[in-house]
Amino acid sequence: MVARTVTRPLFLEGTGGPGARADRVARRVFLACAALTGGTAAVVLGVLAVGAAQFFAEAPAGGFFAGTTWAPFAEEPRFGVWPLVAATSRITIGAILVAAPLGLLSAVYLQHYAGRRTGAVVAAAVAALASVPTVVFGYVALNAATPLLRLVWPGAEAFNGASATLVVGLMIAPTVAFLGREALAAVPPAYFHAGMALGASRGRVVALVVAPAAARGIAAAVLLAMARAVGETMIVTMAAGSHAGLAWSPLEGVRTLTAFVAQTSLGDIAPDGPDFRAVAAVAALLFVVTYAMHAAGRALLARRPAGSAHP
Protein backbone atom coordinates (compact mmCIF):
# COMPACT_ATOMS: atom_id res chain seq x y z
CA MET A 1 0.00 0.00 0.00
CA VAL A 2 1.10 3.52 -0.73
CA ALA A 3 2.23 5.18 2.43
CA ARG A 4 0.05 8.10 3.32
CA THR A 5 -0.42 10.38 6.25
CA VAL A 6 -3.65 10.26 8.12
CA THR A 7 -3.46 13.89 9.05
CA ARG A 8 -3.84 15.52 5.64
CA PRO A 9 -4.68 19.18 5.93
CA LEU A 10 -8.40 19.60 6.35
CA PHE A 11 -10.18 21.48 3.64
CA LEU A 12 -13.67 20.57 4.62
CA GLU A 13 -14.68 24.16 4.96
CA GLY A 14 -15.65 26.34 2.04
CA THR A 15 -16.61 24.97 -1.30
CA GLY A 16 -13.28 24.92 -3.01
CA GLY A 17 -12.64 21.24 -3.69
CA PRO A 18 -12.13 19.84 -7.17
CA GLY A 19 -15.27 20.12 -9.29
CA ALA A 20 -16.89 22.71 -7.03
CA ARG A 21 -16.62 25.50 -9.61
CA ALA A 22 -18.19 23.44 -12.37
CA ASP A 23 -20.94 22.47 -9.95
CA ARG A 24 -21.73 26.10 -9.14
CA VAL A 25 -21.78 27.01 -12.83
CA ALA A 26 -24.06 24.07 -13.64
CA ARG A 27 -26.46 24.99 -10.87
CA ARG A 28 -26.73 28.54 -12.18
CA VAL A 29 -27.25 27.39 -15.76
CA PHE A 30 -30.03 25.00 -14.74
CA LEU A 31 -31.64 27.62 -12.53
CA ALA A 32 -31.60 29.99 -15.50
CA CYS A 33 -33.30 27.32 -17.61
CA ALA A 34 -36.01 26.86 -14.99
CA ALA A 35 -36.46 30.63 -14.83
CA LEU A 36 -36.82 30.78 -18.62
CA THR A 37 -39.45 28.04 -18.54
CA GLY A 38 -41.34 29.78 -15.76
CA GLY A 39 -40.99 33.08 -17.61
CA THR A 40 -42.41 31.60 -20.80
CA ALA A 41 -45.39 30.22 -18.94
CA ALA A 42 -45.89 33.54 -17.18
CA VAL A 43 -45.76 35.45 -20.48
CA VAL A 44 -48.38 33.18 -22.10
CA LEU A 45 -50.60 33.48 -19.06
CA GLY A 46 -50.02 37.21 -18.77
CA VAL A 47 -50.95 37.99 -22.36
CA LEU A 48 -54.19 36.05 -22.06
CA ALA A 49 -55.01 37.54 -18.68
CA VAL A 50 -54.42 41.12 -19.77
CA GLY A 51 -56.34 40.67 -23.03
CA ALA A 52 -59.23 38.98 -21.28
CA ALA A 53 -59.31 41.64 -18.55
CA GLN A 54 -59.53 44.36 -21.18
CA PHE A 55 -62.27 42.41 -22.91
CA PHE A 56 -64.36 42.08 -19.78
CA ALA A 57 -63.81 45.74 -18.96
CA GLU A 58 -65.89 46.48 -22.06
CA ALA A 59 -68.22 43.54 -22.40
CA PRO A 60 -70.04 42.38 -19.28
CA ALA A 61 -69.12 38.88 -18.21
CA GLY A 62 -72.78 37.94 -17.97
CA GLY A 63 -73.27 38.63 -21.66
CA PHE A 64 -70.15 36.60 -22.46
CA PHE A 65 -71.12 33.45 -20.60
CA ALA A 66 -74.90 33.55 -21.12
CA GLY A 67 -75.37 35.33 -24.45
CA THR A 68 -76.41 33.32 -27.45
CA THR A 69 -75.16 35.62 -30.18
CA TRP A 70 -71.53 35.92 -31.10
CA ALA A 71 -70.98 38.90 -33.34
CA PRO A 72 -67.99 40.76 -31.90
CA PHE A 73 -67.33 42.87 -34.95
CA ALA A 74 -70.88 43.87 -35.84
CA GLU A 75 -71.96 47.47 -35.54
CA GLU A 76 -73.70 46.58 -32.34
CA PRO A 77 -71.27 43.96 -31.11
CA ARG A 78 -72.68 40.96 -29.23
CA PHE A 79 -70.35 38.86 -27.16
CA GLY A 80 -72.34 35.77 -26.28
CA VAL A 81 -69.79 32.94 -26.36
CA TRP A 82 -72.48 30.27 -26.11
CA PRO A 83 -72.61 29.41 -29.85
CA LEU A 84 -68.83 28.80 -29.88
CA VAL A 85 -68.98 26.72 -26.71
CA ALA A 86 -71.91 24.73 -28.09
CA ALA A 87 -70.01 24.01 -31.30
CA THR A 88 -66.88 22.95 -29.42
CA SER A 89 -68.93 20.75 -27.07
CA ARG A 90 -70.80 19.07 -29.89
CA ILE A 91 -67.69 18.34 -31.89
CA THR A 92 -65.85 17.13 -28.80
CA ILE A 93 -68.66 14.83 -27.70
CA GLY A 94 -69.24 13.55 -31.22
CA ALA A 95 -65.53 12.94 -31.67
CA ILE A 96 -65.18 11.03 -28.41
CA LEU A 97 -68.20 8.92 -29.36
CA VAL A 98 -66.16 7.87 -32.40
CA ALA A 99 -62.78 7.71 -30.69
CA ALA A 100 -63.65 5.99 -27.40
CA PRO A 101 -65.04 2.74 -28.87
CA LEU A 102 -62.52 2.75 -31.70
CA GLY A 103 -59.55 3.51 -29.48
CA LEU A 104 -60.50 1.33 -26.52
CA LEU A 105 -61.37 -1.67 -28.67
CA SER A 106 -58.08 -1.23 -30.53
CA ALA A 107 -56.34 -1.16 -27.16
CA VAL A 108 -58.11 -4.39 -26.17
CA TYR A 109 -57.14 -5.93 -29.48
CA LEU A 110 -53.48 -4.96 -29.09
CA GLN A 111 -53.25 -6.03 -25.46
CA HIS A 112 -55.33 -9.21 -25.46
CA TYR A 113 -56.06 -10.54 -28.95
CA ALA A 114 -53.38 -9.58 -31.43
CA GLY A 115 -50.78 -12.05 -32.58
CA ARG A 116 -47.23 -10.77 -32.60
CA ARG A 117 -47.10 -9.87 -36.29
CA THR A 118 -50.55 -8.41 -36.75
CA GLY A 119 -50.20 -6.63 -33.42
CA ALA A 120 -47.02 -4.94 -34.60
CA VAL A 121 -48.72 -3.85 -37.83
CA VAL A 122 -51.76 -2.42 -36.05
CA ALA A 123 -49.58 -0.72 -33.44
CA ALA A 124 -47.53 0.83 -36.23
CA ALA A 125 -50.70 2.10 -37.94
CA VAL A 126 -51.91 3.61 -34.66
CA ALA A 127 -48.52 5.25 -34.08
CA ALA A 128 -48.53 6.57 -37.65
CA LEU A 129 -52.00 8.07 -37.23
CA ALA A 130 -50.89 9.62 -33.95
CA SER A 131 -47.99 11.41 -35.61
CA VAL A 132 -49.99 12.88 -38.50
CA PRO A 133 -50.23 16.67 -38.11
CA THR A 134 -53.76 17.93 -37.63
CA VAL A 135 -53.55 20.15 -40.70
CA VAL A 136 -53.24 16.98 -42.77
CA PHE A 137 -56.34 15.61 -41.05
CA GLY A 138 -57.98 18.92 -41.95
CA TYR A 139 -57.09 18.34 -45.59
CA VAL A 140 -58.63 14.88 -45.40
CA ALA A 141 -61.78 16.26 -43.79
CA LEU A 142 -62.18 18.81 -46.53
CA ASN A 143 -61.19 16.70 -49.52
CA ALA A 144 -62.32 13.21 -48.58
CA ALA A 145 -64.73 13.18 -45.64
CA THR A 146 -66.97 16.00 -46.85
CA PRO A 147 -67.29 14.72 -50.48
CA LEU A 148 -68.12 11.25 -49.13
CA LEU A 149 -70.66 12.73 -46.72
CA ARG A 150 -72.30 14.66 -49.54
CA LEU A 151 -72.62 11.46 -51.56
CA VAL A 152 -74.76 10.11 -48.73
CA TRP A 153 -76.52 13.37 -47.77
CA PRO A 154 -76.43 15.68 -50.76
CA GLY A 155 -77.88 18.40 -48.55
CA ALA A 156 -74.76 18.71 -46.45
CA GLU A 157 -73.03 22.08 -46.64
CA ALA A 158 -69.47 22.36 -47.98
CA PHE A 159 -68.39 23.25 -44.45
CA ASN A 160 -70.21 21.15 -41.88
CA GLY A 161 -69.90 19.86 -38.36
CA ALA A 162 -70.31 16.18 -39.21
CA SER A 163 -67.18 15.57 -41.25
CA ALA A 164 -65.09 17.67 -38.86
CA THR A 165 -66.46 15.62 -35.94
CA LEU A 166 -65.69 12.34 -37.65
CA VAL A 167 -62.13 13.34 -38.54
CA VAL A 168 -61.42 14.81 -35.09
CA GLY A 169 -62.60 11.44 -33.77
CA LEU A 170 -60.10 9.65 -36.00
CA MET A 171 -57.39 12.07 -34.92
CA ILE A 172 -57.85 11.48 -31.18
CA ALA A 173 -58.51 7.72 -31.46
CA PRO A 174 -54.77 6.88 -31.33
CA THR A 175 -54.49 8.82 -28.05
CA VAL A 176 -57.29 6.72 -26.56
CA ALA A 177 -55.74 3.55 -27.95
CA PHE A 178 -52.28 4.30 -26.62
CA LEU A 179 -53.30 5.44 -23.13
CA GLY A 180 -55.98 2.75 -22.95
CA ARG A 181 -53.44 0.08 -23.73
CA GLU A 182 -51.15 1.41 -21.02
CA ALA A 183 -54.03 1.21 -18.57
CA LEU A 184 -54.80 -2.39 -19.56
CA ALA A 185 -51.13 -3.32 -19.38
CA ALA A 186 -50.88 -1.95 -15.84
CA VAL A 187 -53.44 -4.46 -14.55
CA PRO A 188 -51.61 -7.32 -12.82
CA PRO A 189 -51.57 -10.35 -15.14
CA ALA A 190 -52.74 -12.46 -12.21
CA TYR A 191 -56.23 -10.96 -12.60
CA PHE A 192 -56.37 -12.09 -16.20
CA HIS A 193 -55.07 -15.57 -15.43
CA ALA A 194 -57.44 -15.99 -12.52
CA GLY A 195 -60.38 -15.04 -14.72
CA MET A 196 -59.31 -17.35 -17.51
CA ALA A 197 -58.79 -20.18 -15.03
CA LEU A 198 -62.48 -19.95 -14.15
CA GLY A 199 -63.27 -20.95 -17.69
CA ALA A 200 -64.66 -17.63 -18.88
CA SER A 201 -64.08 -16.50 -22.43
CA ARG A 202 -61.32 -14.00 -23.06
CA GLY A 203 -63.88 -11.32 -23.86
CA ARG A 204 -65.73 -11.84 -20.58
CA VAL A 205 -62.51 -11.72 -18.56
CA VAL A 206 -61.33 -8.56 -20.29
CA ALA A 207 -64.69 -6.84 -19.98
CA LEU A 208 -65.60 -7.93 -16.45
CA VAL A 209 -62.23 -8.33 -14.72
CA VAL A 210 -59.46 -6.45 -16.50
CA ALA A 211 -61.34 -3.36 -17.70
CA PRO A 212 -62.85 -2.51 -14.29
CA ALA A 213 -59.40 -2.81 -12.72
CA ALA A 214 -58.13 -0.38 -15.36
CA ALA A 215 -61.10 1.97 -15.05
CA ARG A 216 -59.08 4.92 -13.81
CA GLY A 217 -56.58 4.71 -16.64
CA ILE A 218 -59.36 4.27 -19.20
CA ALA A 219 -61.18 7.31 -17.86
CA ALA A 220 -57.93 9.27 -18.06
CA ALA A 221 -57.43 8.16 -21.66
CA VAL A 222 -60.88 9.39 -22.61
CA LEU A 223 -60.50 12.66 -20.72
CA LEU A 224 -57.09 13.47 -22.17
CA ALA A 225 -58.32 12.68 -25.68
CA MET A 226 -61.30 14.98 -25.12
CA ALA A 227 -58.94 17.74 -24.03
CA ARG A 228 -57.17 17.34 -27.36
CA ALA A 229 -60.48 17.54 -29.20
CA VAL A 230 -61.40 20.76 -27.39
CA GLY A 231 -58.08 22.31 -28.39
CA GLU A 232 -58.09 20.91 -31.93
CA THR A 233 -57.88 23.84 -34.31
CA MET A 234 -56.96 22.96 -37.88
CA ILE A 235 -59.61 20.37 -38.68
CA VAL A 236 -62.45 22.57 -37.50
CA THR A 237 -60.96 25.71 -39.02
CA MET A 238 -60.70 24.02 -42.40
CA ALA A 239 -63.79 21.82 -42.50
CA ALA A 240 -66.41 23.07 -40.06
CA GLY A 241 -66.82 26.57 -41.38
CA SER A 242 -67.03 29.98 -39.81
CA HIS A 243 -70.69 30.36 -39.12
CA ALA A 244 -71.06 31.19 -35.45
CA GLY A 245 -74.72 30.32 -35.11
CA LEU A 246 -76.46 27.76 -32.99
CA ALA A 247 -76.87 25.23 -35.82
CA TRP A 248 -78.68 22.08 -34.83
CA SER A 249 -78.08 19.98 -37.90
CA PRO A 250 -74.65 18.36 -38.11
CA LEU A 251 -74.77 18.95 -41.84
CA GLU A 252 -74.53 22.71 -41.35
CA GLY A 253 -71.43 24.71 -40.65
CA VAL A 254 -70.44 25.57 -37.08
CA ARG A 255 -67.66 27.59 -35.52
CA THR A 256 -65.71 26.39 -32.50
CA LEU A 257 -63.74 28.38 -29.94
CA THR A 258 -60.46 27.40 -31.58
CA ALA A 259 -61.74 28.14 -35.08
CA PHE A 260 -62.77 31.62 -33.99
CA VAL A 261 -59.28 32.30 -32.63
CA ALA A 262 -57.52 30.98 -35.73
CA GLN A 263 -59.84 32.51 -38.31
CA THR A 264 -59.90 35.92 -36.65
CA SER A 265 -56.15 36.04 -36.16
CA LEU A 266 -55.57 35.11 -39.79
CA GLY A 267 -56.39 38.67 -40.61
CA ASP A 268 -53.90 41.13 -39.30
CA ILE A 269 -55.02 41.86 -35.76
CA ALA A 270 -53.38 44.52 -33.66
CA PRO A 271 -52.85 43.82 -29.95
CA ASP A 272 -54.74 46.99 -28.99
CA GLY A 273 -57.85 46.44 -31.11
CA PRO A 274 -61.25 45.08 -30.13
CA ASP A 275 -60.76 41.92 -32.25
CA PHE A 276 -57.67 41.04 -30.28
CA ARG A 277 -59.51 41.44 -26.99
CA ALA A 278 -62.21 39.06 -28.16
CA VAL A 279 -59.58 36.57 -29.33
CA ALA A 280 -57.77 36.85 -25.98
CA ALA A 281 -60.97 36.24 -24.04
CA VAL A 282 -61.80 33.13 -26.05
CA ALA A 283 -58.18 31.92 -25.86
CA ALA A 284 -58.23 32.40 -22.09
CA LEU A 285 -61.40 30.32 -21.85
CA LEU A 286 -59.75 27.60 -23.95
CA PHE A 287 -56.67 27.76 -21.74
CA VAL A 288 -58.65 27.29 -18.53
CA VAL A 289 -60.79 24.44 -19.87
CA THR A 290 -57.99 22.42 -21.47
CA TYR A 291 -55.62 23.02 -18.57
CA ALA A 292 -58.21 21.70 -16.14
CA MET A 293 -59.02 18.68 -18.30
CA HIS A 294 -55.35 17.84 -18.69
CA ALA A 295 -54.72 18.21 -14.98
CA ALA A 296 -57.70 15.99 -14.14
CA GLY A 297 -56.59 13.34 -16.65
CA ARG A 298 -53.04 13.32 -15.32
CA ALA A 299 -54.31 13.12 -11.75
CA LEU A 300 -56.28 10.01 -12.68
CA LEU A 301 -53.18 8.51 -14.27
CA ALA A 302 -50.98 9.32 -11.31
CA ARG A 303 -52.98 7.09 -9.01
CA ARG A 304 -52.15 3.47 -9.50
CA PRO A 305 -54.95 1.05 -10.35
CA ALA A 306 -56.41 -0.84 -7.41
CA GLY A 307 -54.42 -3.93 -6.50
CA SER A 308 -51.46 -2.92 -8.60
CA ALA A 309 -48.29 -4.83 -7.87
CA HIS A 310 -46.23 -1.67 -7.27
CA PRO A 311 -47.40 0.51 -4.41
**Footprint on residues 233-262 left by other proteins (CB under 8 A):** 233-234, 237-238, 258, 261-262
Residue 294 Cβ vs other proteins, minimum distance, rounded to whole Å: 3
Q: Which is nearer to other proteins, 66 or 111 (CB)?
A: 111
Examine residue 7 and tell whether it contacts other proteins (CB under 8 A): yes
Closest to 90 in 3D by CA, of 288, 294, 244, 248: 248
- Picking from 267, 263, 260, 253, the residue whose alpha carbon sits closest to that of residue 283 is 260
**What's the min distance (Å) between Cβ of 310 and other proteins?**
13
296 burial class (0-12, 13-18, 19+ CB within 10 angstroms)? middle
* Binding string, residues 130-169; x marks residues near other proteins by CB under 8 A: -xxxxxxxxxx-xxx-------------------------
How far is 274 from 58, CA to CA, in rounded Å? 9
Report the site for other proteins in 255-294 (rule: CB under 8 A): 258, 261-262, 265-266, 268-271, 276, 279-280, 283, 286-287, 290-291, 293-294
d(CA 188, CA 194): 10
Least distance to other proteins, CB of residue 75, Å: 25
Give min distance, CB of 26 to other proteins, in A. Answer: 4
User: How far from 66 is each of 89, 131, 260, CA to CA, in Å?
Assistant: 15, 38, 18
Q: Which of positions 31-70 make contact with other proteins (CB under 8 A)?
A: 31-34, 36-38, 40-41, 43-44, 47-48, 51
Q: Please, what is the minimum distance in Å from the beta carbon of residue 140 to other proteins?
A: 6
Q: How far apart are CA 151 and CA 146, in angstroms?
A: 9
Is 175 in contact with 226 (CB distance < 8 Å)?
no
